[in-house]
Structure 1
Amino acid sequence: MDIARIERRIGVRATPDQIWDLIADLPGWDRWNPVETRLEGAIAFGAEIALTERIGDLPERRAAMRVGEWQPYSQLVWAEKRGLWFRSMRYFEIEPLEQPGSCIVANGFIFSGLRGEMFFDRHRKHLRHAVDAVAEAWKAAAEA
């Protein structure tokens, strides 16, 4: 199976609790996330999250995702099946550092299937900008 991945990791001066609070407040994503907005749903295994996604010059779209994995104060992963040959995953991870009140946060996309890899290749620049923008905004919100 073909897989393409893009990620941004960044250091944040905040506790896992402070960072997770931003993730767990789905309606609050509008205040800090420039890519995924208007989130509705619940963080639970198999639960649906509906959101609006804006990535670069791509058309804004409303999409429904399924929570695949989550662990409080650590990670949230959702997935979307886009037809027979295309699946995308979106993830947010929190890794505490030894220094109290500091973490590494990561966000990224994983595309699988032939069409997923083609989508990634065609839109790599916009996807890179999206993960960078989310990382910077997440950091700013958590440190505020």
Structure 2
Amino acid sequence: MSDVEKKIVINATPEQTYNVLMDFPSYPEWNPMVLSIDGDTSPSSTLTVSIKVGARAPQSFKPTVLKNEVNREFRWVGKLLLACLYRGEHYFIIEGNSEGGCTFVHGERFSGVLSSPLNNMMGEDLPKAFEAFNNALKERVEKQDASAVSS
């Protein structure tokens, strides 16, 4: 397995989607993949991220924020020891559409000499985890949008 990218259409605005995506304290309520994120979201800042992929034990790492463009994109990069061994650039992109909703793009680009063996060990668990994240985000955003409309 190499890079992973999953897309989903969310029936809510880019602003609504971004607000849920960046509400890290609420992740335990809805997010099956990213259990927690702590830290400053400004570029060059370090986050502490805890994830769960498949049946594996949760793991934590400390990626560096590369980009945080409000209502549009959030991106970080993590590495294992040295970037030449294993590097993953994780991204979330929100693209508005003409119907008033958005397409949410969730992906990761891998590089380094250990990227193929480590990713192959995960098999289909990683793409499935990305899909589960996207589906849960869609449900959360659309549910919040529906409750805001009915209020």
State whether TM-score is above 0.5: yes
Question: Which has the greater radius of gyration?
Answer: 2
Aligned-pair RMSD on alpha carbons?
1.5
Matched, 1:137 2:136: yes
Runs of 4+ residues deviating >3 angstroms: none
Aligned to 1:58: 56
The 8 Å contact of residues 21 and 137 in structure 2, kept in 1 or not, is answered as no
| Contact residue 26 and residue 41 of structure 1 kept, 8 A | no
- Count the aligned residue pairs: 141
Q: Percent identity?
A: 23
Which whole-Å deviations, capped at 9, do the CAs of 1:76-106 have from their partners, x for residues lacking one? 1111110231111221110000112x10001
**TM-superposition CA deviations, 1:123-142 (whole Å, max 9, x none):** 13110111110010010011
| C-alpha distance in 2 between matches for 1:27 and 1:89 | 22
TM-score by length of 1: 0.91
Which residues in structure 2 correspond to 1:23-38 (within 5 Å)? 23-38=21-36
Offset, 1:14: 0.3
Q: TM-score, normalised by structure 2?
A: 0.87
| Structure 2 counterparts to residues 48-127 of structure 1, below 5 A | 48-84=46-82, 85-100=85-100, 102-127=101-126
Aligned-pair distance for 1:69?
1.5
Letter in 1 for 2:38: E
Query: Where do 5+ consecutive residues of structure 2 fail to align?
Result: 144-151
Q: Which runs of 5 or more structure 1 residues have no equivalent in the other structure?
A: none
